[in-house]
Amino acid sequence: MKITVVGTGYVGLVTGACMAEVGNDILCLDVNPEKIRVLEEGGIPIYEPGLQEMVQRNVAAGRLHFTTDVARAVNHGTIQFIAVGTPPDEDGSADMQYVLAAARSIGRLMTDYKVVVDKSTVPVGTADKVNAAIADELQKRGVQTPYAVVSNPEFLKEGAAVEDFMRPDRIIVGANDEQAILLMRAIYAPFQRNRDRLIVTDVRSAELTKYAANAMLATRISFMNELANLAEKLGADIEMVRQGIGSDPRIGYDFLYPGCGYGGSCFPKDVKALIQTAAGDAGIDLKVLTAVEEANDAQKHVLTRKVQTRLGQDLSGKHIALWGLAFKPNTDDMREAPSRETIAGLLAAGATVTAYDPVAMEEAQRVFGQMPGLTYAESPNLALAGADALVIVTEWKEFRSPDFDVIKAQLKQPLIIDGRNLYDPKFVRAQGFEYLAIGR
């Protein structure tokens, strides 16, 4: 099937590559010529395990193409995925200008039946606006070309996006056009051969499902972070509590890990957007989600507070080794990353920081620029030299079993402040360390 994907960011590139992998003829459109140049030369603009190899394989096979030519892209695919960015507006709502611009381009240039698929995470009611934008452009042209608008939200975890797309838990299709539903079933059939995972809903329910899923996961994280902070004060161990409540099948073990806050391109943005949608479009104050957001904002400062509690409010002359910059492992994404607040807080208190991340250091240098007091190391151990404490922000696998003798030899004092509860406190303390974790 011929498919066009508008946008070669995180969602668009994964969608295009995975659709090509099962044999479709994919054309990815982006208005940024530099992005297209990188992709045509075999590179990718983001870090995602397995994605670059998949892109290169399908480009070589002639199934995956890239262009900046809007007319070519609209003409190519019967199915037109819109996978452009929806960044937060000033009030926290999703900025829809890129989605609607893509819809208008399709309406301006289409000559035959199109299924326009909202793949970007968009507020409830966006499909109606996309529908209206296409209808307006067709009216201006004086033509009545048939089309359908479908909501098909993505549920991709950064760091496991290729696997999630190829083996989905569920595929949500919000549509009321029978031909569009048949086409969507056809393109997703290769991804669900052992059982049907495709759920057809009305369009607005599909749009809300995406926000509801991310809001629920964010809620579990903030809830566990608050419980962890309470456990610390009460002398309980949050890891034992986690096992106790996770064993209840109604609760389960997933997303019950306390830490130093959630970040990334989805949870913070989507929680804000859902709160704003509820307030602005429905006049409803989502009290639980407002508290989730407030709890997360506070949790991003927990590591700086722990450092200051141990080393003093004024950290002038103190040097901190920091492991982990990306908001989670297996990505270079720094958007809303807890490391940003941690580094800013440490520097503001007078400390200097040497940071290491296996993937995100280039992105960190772009984010922070030439920030006085912040340097980068080429390995975890090199980051430790002469530091007063080691602060762990991201739970990369290579941090899970370090050489504690090397850590102790490099640090000025054996102090580890662990924002991801990577280690067994008894074991680390038996190695002669002072070990401060989250809720332990």
**Active-site amino acid positions:** 266
Looking up tokens 């949870």, which residue turns up?
267
Percentage helix, strand, coil, to 5, in the chain? 45, 15, 40
What's the CA gap between 41 and 37, in Å, rounded? 6
Give the torsion sign (CA, 22, 24, 25, 26). negative
What's the CA gap between 264 and 331, in Å, rounded? 10
**CB of 133 within 8 A of CB of 103?**
yes
**CB of 389 within 8 A of CB of 414?**
no
Cα maximum dimension of the chain: 78
**CB of 334 within 8 A of CB of 360?**
yes
The dihedral region occupied by 439, where left means phi > 0, alpha psi between -120 and 50, and beta the remainder, is left
DSSP sequence for 149-163: EEE----PPTTSHHH
Q: What are phi and psi of 4, to 5 degrees?
A: -105, 135
- Provide the H-helix boundaries in 22-69: 33-40, 51-60
Residues 6 or more apart whose CB falls under 8 angstroms from that of 68 comprise: 29, 30, 31, 32, 33, 36
What's the CA gap between 93 and 101, in Å, rounded? 17
What's the CA gap between 96 and 89, in Å, rounded? 9
Tokens of residue 352, six digits: 């200097």
